[in-house]
Chains A and B, each alone.
Chain A
Amino acid sequence: MIHSLFLINSSGDIFLEKHWKSVVSRSVCDYFFEAQERATEAENVPPVIPTPHHYLLNVYRHKIFFVAVIQTEVPPLFVIEFLHRVVDTFQDYFGVCSEVVIKDNVVVVYEVLEEMLDNGFPLATESNILKELIKPPTILRTVVNTITGSTNVGDQLPTGQLSVVPWRRTGVKYTNNEAYFDVIEEIDAIIDKSGSTITAEIQGVIDACVKLTGMPDLTLSFMNPRLLDDVSFHPCVRFKRWESERILSFIPPDGNFRLLSYHVSAQNLVAIPVYVKHNISFRDSSSLGRFEITVGPKQTMGKTVEGVMVTSQMPKGVLNMSLTPSQGMHTFDPVTKLLSWDVGKINPQKLPNLKGTMSLQAGTSKPDENPTINLQFKIQQLAISGLKVNRLDMYGEKYKPFKGIKYMTKAGKFQVRT
């Protein structure tokens, strides 16, 4: 399966290599560099690059290319999904996944990679298990290790590996037992010029942070489970209970995990919490263009829209923009032509507005494309789909846990076409 892995930074240095079978010369990466050159942008590098003897599958995350070398037929998603899992694991271990951090922790990285694959086939990818095999570095542990000479490699087979619930380790103990659930919904929408919705869907996740002693068995029920059109679960969720009763029943992993992600389809009407009024016009004759954007709330169920951020990729012909915002900060990068406006909170009484002129390249005619406006925002304490958790019950343990549910709506890929 996976033969080797190369980590390449954005300047084209191979800063880590790992081989699970015999060594593949790193010159194989030349094919990758070729493809990278052809693609001009990092995101356009084809994820699968065939070379005469190998296939290079890569993912690009955190400005690092993770290039896996394979020799024989293997489902490409298998490799890609695994590479993403590697990145997630690094992130989980070190907090961030960057070149510097990987270089600083190269031994741990190597050990983790060693455990994740055996002969190119995934062995342990569950972060809970890995953390028992190789403990993540913390400052305290580093200090203790240097003094006592103990190691951060576990010598026990992680219990999870063999148990019925491989995602949870045994013997978890907390003094404060708490379980927090975050219902986070993202609205993906395309709004057309006139303000009508072309497509809108809600992608939701329930992220959990569970710190409970022992082997708790939780059930989470919803007021309106039928809303959830398409769900994918963490392996801990008992699928059949969901099928039959629409109840989430599970023994949670310890710590942070994503309990489920769901989808509320485009068929349902999605409330769009903000609107954007825009007036962007280039005039044929003059080298000036007018630009005005107003953002306002709409269907917010009485909640404030905050963290509003407007970005827009302006056409190449725009040289500079002189704009005045009614609130917040704005920047325009004349090189990348990216306009961003950090709006902040929307005050319904006084709608935020950005207004001014664009100076266009003299001599060229007006750009025939209009920029699309990308919007980010956050609404606390609201799940826009109307999803509501009914109750959370715990079985199997005696104590009373502290429970908390938080709702949040965010903009996902929210675009306004102009």
Chain B
Amino acid sequence: MSASPAYSEEKGGSSSLGEPEYGHDPASGGIFSSDYKRHDDLKEMLDSNKDSLKLEAMKRIVAMIARGKNASDLFPAVVKNVACKNIEVKKLVYVYLVRYAEEQQDLALLSISTFQRGLKDPNQLIRASALRVLSSIRVPIIVPIMMLAIKEAASDMSPYVRKTAAHAIPKLYSLDSDQKDQLIEVIEKLLADKTTLVAGSVVMAFEEVCPERIDLIHKNYRKLCNLLIDVEEWGQVVIINMLTRYARTQFLSPNQNESLLEENPEKAFYGSDEEDSKDDKLDAASLVKRKPYVMDPDHRLLLRNTKPLLQSRNAAVVMAVAQLYFHLAPKAEVGVIAKALVRLLRSHSEVQWVVLQNVATMSIKRRGMFEPYLKSFYIRSTDPTQIKILKLEVLTNLANETNISTILREFQTYIRSMDKDFVAATIQAIGRCATNIGKVRDTCLNGLVQLLSNRDELVVAESVVVIKKLLQMQPSQHSEIIKHMAKLTDNIQVPMARASILWLIGEYCEHVPKIAPDVLRKMSKSFTGEEDIVKLQVINLAAKLYLTNSKQSKLLTQYVLNLAKYDQNYDIRDRARFIRQLIVPTEKSGALNKYAKKLFLAQKPAPILESSFKDRDHFQLGSLSHLLNAKAVGYQELPDWPDEAPDPSVRNVEVPEWTKCTSREKRKEKVEKPFYSDSEGESGPTESADSDPESVSETESESGSSSSSSESGSDSGSRGEESGDQSEEEEEKKKKKKKKGKEGPRKACPESAGSDPSEEEEEQEQGKKGKKKKPQDEGKGASESSWEEGSVSESSSSKSDSGSEAEESQSEPESRRRTTPPSSKPAPKASRKETKEISLLDLDDFTPAPPQPASSPAIVSTSLVTDLEGLTLTNASLAPTMLSPVFSTVKTYELLHRMAGEGLSVEYYFNRQPFPPDPHMVAVQIQFSNNTESEVKNLRVSEPKLVSGMRIQEFQEIESLAPGDTASVIMGIDFCDSTQAANFQLCTHSRQFYVSIQPPVGELMAPVFMSENEFKKEQGKLTGMSEITEKLTLPDKCQSDHTIVQRVTAAANVSRVPCGADNEYRFAAKTVTSGSLILITLERKEGARAHLTVNSEKMVIGTMLVQDISQALAQ
């Protein structure tokens, strides 16, 4: 195109001005051009009054700049054209100006007035570009002008100009950091801007100018969260990263379970959410004793609003969300990011490289998250080496007992790759797997030994090194391998490998007492023909043998030393001399002689093989610092969670006045909506999709459907708004909602609880609430009311059960907040007391401890749970996790009788806690008591003999158990939903005992929360073959609600499902391994008769459960 002539005169582009700034630039300063004249003709062209000539000249100049040639001597000629009418010339002049203004400050000032004029132009594009160029000119004199311009532009009508103003802020700041205070004011103003266009840019400015002023975010936090989905992608990245930091300072850690003093129904809530989340659902169970933790609704809001962005096409956005989840989300929810990250692995190799580094770090901490995607990390021969090595790292991190065989098989293929660096890395990876997973250590060793015969030196060297490391860990057990390697000396020619083998034999010569001297004999025979490193090791071996076995090797050693004495290499001669002095006792031999053995045969520490990605997560993931594992300039440390949550009310926005701007603006409001307003007001267009067809009571169904739509409604707001195809009716509805949304915040403010009764919608809403309240207060069964805090908690519980996503939980606390001001804690207590009173009036047999373990969505039971914990549980690590089941009788089983165990007795029971390392395992609490006179040491599990599929997570070895002491540990067993026993050996330092654990069917499940509707829906799906019914007669003492519930929950780990009818009891659970639902219904008929129905697709379990329960009830 037109620019091409520029290349014919590249040489002409160089400068002769010899500016000091430019002198050091080798690229441009170096050439002194011979033909100056070229520039003269450029000047001429610029001075002409023909636009086309000017344009041509400017194009050539820009081409020079692009090549890195100096064109600064043209400055005066170019700057004149800044006011040119032709827009392209103007633009190119701008390009030139921005490039050279710094060097020609005085001349640059000539152009300023043009920009100042441009700032007043009616066309927003011209205003914006004037500001852009003005702020890009790095001339300190114009700082005040820039400041003024930015301030003015920050309140411009056009959001585009405001965006430009936001961009200008960091420019000015880098020019003159004294302006910080004033700039912060502008930032504060722009942060309040409600257009998506501005949001990203201003947060960028915030990050560059005042990242420490976290207080500026408070008021804008919710708005930013809600705008997020509509902000352009680059802005999203910046905002998400900033919000991650913000959340770390403002909220409590969702995993560490710091308490809010107030007990809260949400606890149960999150329990159910975690249940429903697909991956590693029970992972969250930290073993720390936890008090109920309540996630701040704002925290939830952030998590919820960022989640859809995992679907973004922009890898940076996906990564930003992933790191946000990794750093902020409850452990149980982090799993969602794995899929998105794996998707990024399809992208360009640079993206893969970055993502894999982050995955490597994550996979150390949360292995379970990536396990399902193991195969996505398999290596292809076409991958670049650096990608291969990272994938290998991830595979190694993911290796565990179950998948190790697949991984090793994969590694086997890699070893034959042509890429030798990669092969070496694979060998190291095998070494790491072998150290981490004891089970496969021998297999790995054998495999590596085979590799010793590889022709590639790198491979052999690497395998020898890894073998050496592995052997160093437990040399005694591997004398076989050492022997094998000794034999290899006959075949292996690679000097490095020979040397390594000799070192090994020397080091562990006491394990191979017969072979070592023989090897020395052979080596001394071939000594003269060996490579130098091998010779050195032969001498080394000889010395060690001389010290341990001088009888056999004395002569050999002397022979070798003599040979070495006359070797050509002086290193070897030196070594021989040195060793002779050291080990052969003579009259003159010095003091060192005594210590020769210590010198040579000192215990060498085993090398530790661990991932280089360990502990990298103290850097914010996805950051440059994390990637480099070093703090980059300007890196903002990710703060630790606070111990006490700062006041959440700082984020409350007084009365939001939504400026009417574009239709986009309305969407914002809608997004905002679910946050402020109660979910019951919502009925998105998708309502019908999720609502329950067979609603039992009106209220139930309403709350159920509204909860499901609260999410979809809110989100459809974000995108769905512009859809023109929606029916007008819906539009109207939405408008209504929007109105309500506006009201919402006011309601949310505790001070204005009783605001504006005149508003129609509000009345309606309250009416609805009233309706909701009534049937519950009246018509609830006796035991039920005990967990009813009030209508709100009930509606929330049913909501949570509708199980759509974790999202709802956000709206719940919101509703709580509405009824009870967030800051005042006594309020919920009061309401609880009230309900207790009601229940005491209504019920004869109300007992303070609701027996059903898990059906505790409401306050009372949670509080009791915590009370009970204090009583029953001895071990702190036993603290209940999210479900906190309570059961009145803990049935203990004997694992090893005192007599059989020679004084060691072992009992176990099912503590009904989720087993955090693996959600598919049943946790078994094992208690050892030592009744012998002596210490029992090294208690551990070994040699599990398991039915296929069954897995055991062993407990940590108990070092020692003093006489009379007891200890308790937890182990996890995946029974594969069968009642077959898990057999294994229990070993002590002296004995082994064969034991087996057979689970009662009731322990193979974990409670699930669901609403009545949901229960019925699920039950409807599980009829026919999967339904088992039995008639039974309830004995006299088993007539009260309490006893029945207690017995059922004692027999099986189930949770109670709320039920309208008072002669019916419902329970729900799902099996631990496969997660299939188990629904139990007990219907009392006249007299003492009752019908017990179990619905489950696992028929065997169903049948056994029926038996167990009817037995339990009949007792």
**Least CB separation from A237: chain B residue:** B719
How many Å from the CB of B712 to the closest CB on chain A? 5
**Least CB separation from B310: chain A residue:** A232
Report the separation of the CA atoms of residues A96 and B67 in the bound assembly, to the nearest whole angstrom. Answer: 21
Given contacts A105-B3, A106-B62, A151-B55, whether A73 and B633 have CB atoms under 8 Å apart is yes
Q: Which residues of B contact A70 (CB under 8 A)?
A: 624
Given contacts A71-B633, A73-B632, A107-B63, whether A121 and B311 have CB atoms under 8 Å apart is no
Q: Are A16 and B663 in contact (CB under 8 A)?
A: no
Q: Digitize A310-329: 1 where CB-to-B-CB distance is under 8 Å, 0 elsewhere.
A: 00010110000000000000
Report the separation of the CA atoms of residues A156 and B126 in the bound assembly, to the nearest whole angstrom. Answer: 9
Main DSSP-derived SS at the A contact region: mixed
Q: Are B354 and A14 in contact (CB under 8 A)?
A: no
Q: Are A415 and B380 in contact (CB under 8 A)?
A: yes
Q: Which residues of B contact A47 (CB under 8 A)?
A: 350, 353-354
Q: Which residues of A contact B6 (CB under 8 A)?
A: 106
Q: Are A25 and B724 in contact (CB under 8 A)?
A: no
Q: Digitize A36-73: 1 where CB-to-B-CB distance is under 8 Å, 0 elsewhere.
A: 00000101101110100001001111000000001111
Q: Are A81 and B351 in contact (CB under 8 A)?
A: yes
Given contacts A198-B375, A415-B382, whether A77 and B316 have CB atoms under 8 Å apart is yes
How many Å from the CB of A53 to the closest CB on chain B? 9
Q: Digitize A353-397: 1 where CB-to-B-CB distance is under 8 Å, 0 elsewhere.
A: 000000000000100111110100000000000000000000110
Interface residues of B in 65-120 (CB under 8 A from A): 65-68, 86-89, 91-92, 94-95, 99, 102
CB < 8 Å neighbour of A74 from B167, B174, B315, B624: B624
Given contacts A81-B351, A107-B63, A157-B124, whether A239 and B719 have CB atoms under 8 Å apart is yes
Stretch at the interface among B23-31, B571-579, B608-616: B23-31
Q: Digitize A246-289: 1 where CB-to-B-CB distance is under 8 Å, 0 elsewhere.
A: 00010100000010010100110000000000000000000000
Interface residues of B in 616-637 (CB under 8 A from A): 622-625, 627-628, 630, 632-636
The reply on B588 being an interface residue by CB < 8 A is no
Q: Are B725 and A219 in contact (CB under 8 A)?
A: yes
Q: Are B628 and A417 in contact (CB under 8 A)?
A: no
How many Å from the CB of A417 to the closest CB on chain B? 6
Q: Digitize B385-429: 1 where CB-to-A-CB distance is under 8 Å, 0 elsewhere.
A: 110000000000000000000000010010011100000000000
Q: Are A239 and B624 in contact (CB under 8 A)?
A: no
How many Å from the CB of A159 to the closest CB on chain B? 11
Q: Which residues of A contact B686 (CB under 8 A)?
A: 240, 244-245
Q: Are A396 and B715 in contact (CB under 8 A)?
A: no
The reply on B376 being an interface residue by CB < 8 A is yes
Report the separation of the CA atoms of residues A11 and B80 in the bound assembly, to the nearest whole angstrom. Answer: 39
Given contacts A104-B4, A106-B6, whether A238 and B689 have CB atoms under 8 Å apart is no
Q: Which residues of B contact A293 (CB under 8 A)?
A: none
How many Å from the CB of A249 to the closest CB on chain B? 6
CB < 8 Å neighbour of B159 from A104, A109, A162: A162
Report the separation of the CA atoms of residues A339 and B413 in the bound assembly, to the nearest whole angstrom. Answer: 21
Q: Are A121 and B204 in contact (CB under 8 A)?
A: yes
Q: Are A72 and B1 in contact (CB under 8 A)?
A: no
Q: Digitize B658-688: 1 where CB-to-A-CB distance is under 8 Å, 0 elsewhere.
A: 0000111000000000000000000000100
Report the separation of the CA atoms of residues A103 and B10 in the bound assembly, to the nearest whole angstrom. Answer: 12
Interface size on A, residues (CB 8 A): 116
Q: Which residues of B contact A60 (CB under 8 A)?
A: 350
Main DSSP-derived SS at the B contact region: helix
Q: Which residues of A contact B320 (CB under 8 A)?
A: 75
Stretch at the interface among A111-119, A300-308, A341-349: A111-119
Interface residues of A in 185-220 (CB under 8 A from B): 188, 190, 192, 198-199, 201, 203, 217, 219
CB < 8 Å neighbour of A73 from B128, B314, B624: B624
Q: Which residues of A contact B318 (CB under 8 A)?
A: 232
The reply on B171 being an interface residue by CB < 8 A is yes
Q: Are B136 and A396 in contact (CB under 8 A)?
A: no
**Least CB separation from B167: chain A residue:** A118
Q: Are A48 and B624 in contact (CB under 8 A)?
A: yes
The reply on A233 being an interface residue by CB < 8 A is yes
How many Å from the CB of A5 to the closest CB on chain B? 10
Given contacts A121-B234, A152-B88, whether A417 and B413 have CB atoms under 8 Å apart is yes
- B-to-A contact residues, CB < 8 Å: 1-4, 6-7, 24-27, 51-52, 55, 59, 62-63, 65-68, 86-89, 91-92, 94-95, 99, 102, 123-125, 128, 132, 135-136, 138, 158-160, 164, 167-168, 170-171, 174, 197, 201, 204, 229, 232-234, 237, 241, 308, 311-316, 318-320, 339-340, 342-343, 346, 348-351, 353-355, 372, 375-376, 378, 380-382, 384-386, 410, 413, 416-418, 454-456, 622-625, 627-628, 630, 632-636, 662-664, 686, 689-690, 712, 715-720, 722-725
Further pairs besides A72-B633, A84-B348, A114-B95: 19, Cβ < 8 Å: A77-B315, A77-B355, A104-B3, A107-B59, A111-B91, A119-B170, A146-B52, A165-B722, A192-B413, A217-B725, A230-B342, A230-B343, A232-B311, A239-B718, A240-B712, A240-B717, A244-B712, A395-B724, A396-B725
